[in-house]
Amino acid sequence: MTELKDLVGKFNSYSPHVDPTALELAWSFADKAHANQSRASGDHYLTHCVAVADSLIEWRMDLPTVCAGLLHDTIEDTPTTEAQLRAEFGEEIAMLVMGVTKLDALKFESRDEAQAENWRKMLLATAQDIRVIIVKLADRLHNMKTLNFLKREKQERIAAETMALYAPLAHRLGMFGLKSELEDLSFAYLHPEEYAELAKKVGDKRAENERQLAAAKAAIEKVLEGTNIPCRILARTKTLWSTYKKMERQEKSFEDIQDALGIRLITDTVANCYALLGIIHTHFKPVAGSFTDYISTPKLNLYRSLHTTIMSPTGELVEIQIRTEEMHRSSEYGIAAHWRYKHGEAAKDVHMEEKLNWLRQWIEWLQDLNSPREFLDSLKTDLEFNQVFVFTPAGEVKVLPAGATPLDFAYAVHTEIGESCVGAIVNNKMVRLDHPLKSGDICRINTKKGSTPKKDWLNLVKTARARSKIRHYLREQGIVE
C-alpha cells in the first residue's frame, strides 16, 4: 500500500482539489486483475502498472489518464472486459484503456503489417484523445527500462521500434526529456559496444565538463547581478545518443568533437527573454549564425526558446537557451504539460486545443492511406524532425519535413493550389516538381485552371497531407482504388 500512498501523494501535490478516490479504486482493481501474473524480471505485474502511472503523474496528467495508466493492460492480459471497466470507472477511463490496448486478435500477413496496423489504430485513438498516446509512451518507457530481462532478439526488436517510432513521436509531441531517455535506452541495446565505450569516455570527462559548466554559469550569474530580471540558471549535458550521432555526422572521434556546454536561462516573461539575450550578447562574444528565435517562430511541436552560442571567458563554446517557466515546462513535457485543472475536473487549455490542430490534421491525413505499409512509411517520414522553412512570395513561412518538394509546399498553402499546380519557381528559377526544398527558399507555385493531380505525383510528395489529398482526388476520379 506504500506505492498507492506515494502515487496519491504525488498526484495531490499538483491537483489538491481533485478527489483521488478513482485512483485508489484503479490501483485496487489492477492489483486484483493481475494478482497471479509476474513480469520477466520476476516482479509482480502490478509494478509495471504503477511505474506507468508514476510517469504520468510526473508529467502532471489528469486523474482519468493516471487511472488508465494503472489499468492499461487489464483488457489485454486479464479476463477483464470493456463492459466491466466501463461499469467500474465510467466511459472516459474505459475509452482511454481501450485506446491503448493492442489488437492482438487481428490477423495480418506479416509482423511488419501487424505493427503498422497497431500504429494506425493507436493514432486513430489519439485523434479522439491525445492522452491515449501519452499513456502508450509511459508504457514504452518502463518496458525499455526493464528490457534487460528479455532475450537478446526481443531486446533488439523492441529497441529498434522505440528508436524508429516512439522516440520521434515523443519529439513530435514536444516531450524532449522523454525522447532523449528513450534514445539512450535504445542505444544501449542497438549498439552495446559503442554505448559502453562512449559512456566510459563521457564519465571520464564528466569532472572537467562540470568544472567548465560551473565557471560558465558563474560568469553569466555575475553579468546578471543587479539587472532585477528574475532568472534561474540550469546547466545541461548532452545525451549519449546525441553525442554518438554528432560523432557519426562529423566523422570525428569523441576526443575531436568540440562539444558546446549547455546552459538554460529561465525567466518570467517573453520580454525578459529578449532582455536576457541582449545582456548575454553584450557581455559575451556570440558565435556568428548561432542565434535562432523559436519564440517568434515556434516549432511544430510547440517548442519555444531563444537559442544562441557564446564563447565563455575561458574559451569554451556555451549553448544558451532562454525561455519562460511556461516554455520550460512545455519543453520538458510537451503536449502533456498543457493539461489544466479547474474546480476538481480536468479542463483542457482552450489555446492548446488550437495548437493541437496540426496533430489532428496530420492523423486525419494518415488515416487516408490504405496500405498499413504505406501508412508506416508515411508516419516515419512525418516523424522525422529535420525541418525546412520555406517562404511564400508574401513572406508566410511553411514548415515542411526535409526532402519536401514544391508539390508538398503547394498543398501546404492550399488544397486548390496543390491540385491546379503546373510548375514551381524557387528563388526566381523554374524547378521540377520533385525538387527538394531548402530552408530559406522562396517558392512560387504556378497554377492553371482546369489542371488536375496526376498519379505519378504520389511518388513526388513527402508529406502525409499532400499524399492524402492527391489520393482522395484520384479515388474520386476512379484512377486509384
Residues with catalytic function: 76-77
The rounded distance, in Å, linking the Cα atoms of 441 and 80 is 56
CB of 56 closer than 8 Å to CB of 69: yes
Sequence-distant (6+) residues with CB within 8 A of 212 are 261, 312, 314, 316
The rounded distance, in Å, linking the Cα atoms of 396 and 230 is 34
Side-chain half-sphere CA neighbours of 354 within 13 A: 2
Residue 86 CB coordination number (10 Å): 16
Give the per-residue SS3 of the chain.
CHHHHHHHHHHHHHCCCCCCHHHHHHHHHHHHHCCCCECCCCCECHHHHHHHHHHHHHCCCCHHHHHHHHHCCHHHHCCCCHHHHHHHHHHHHHHHHHHHCCCCCCCCCCHHHHHHHHHHHHHHHHHHCCHHHHHHHHHHHHHHHCHHHCCHHHHHHHHHHHHHHHHHHHHHCCCHHHHHHHHHHHHHHHCHHHHHHHHHHHHHHHHHHHHHHHHHHHHHHHHHCCCCCCCEEEEECCCHHHHHHHHHHHCCCHHHCCCCEEEEEEECCHHHHHHHHHHHHHHCEECCCCCEECCCCCCCCCCCCEEEEEECCCCCEEEEEEEEHHHHHHHHHHHHHHEEEECCEEEECHHHHHHCHHHHHHHHHHHCCCCHHHHHHHHHHHHCCCEEEEECCCCCEEEEECCCCHHHHHHHHCHHHHHCEEEEEECCEEECCCCCCCCCCEEEEEECCCCCCCHHHHHCCCCHHHHHHHHHHHHHCCCCC
CB of 82 closer than 8 Å to CB of 75: yes
Q: Which three cell numbers stand for residue 232?
A: 534561474
Name the phi and psi angles at 16, rounded to 5: -65, -20
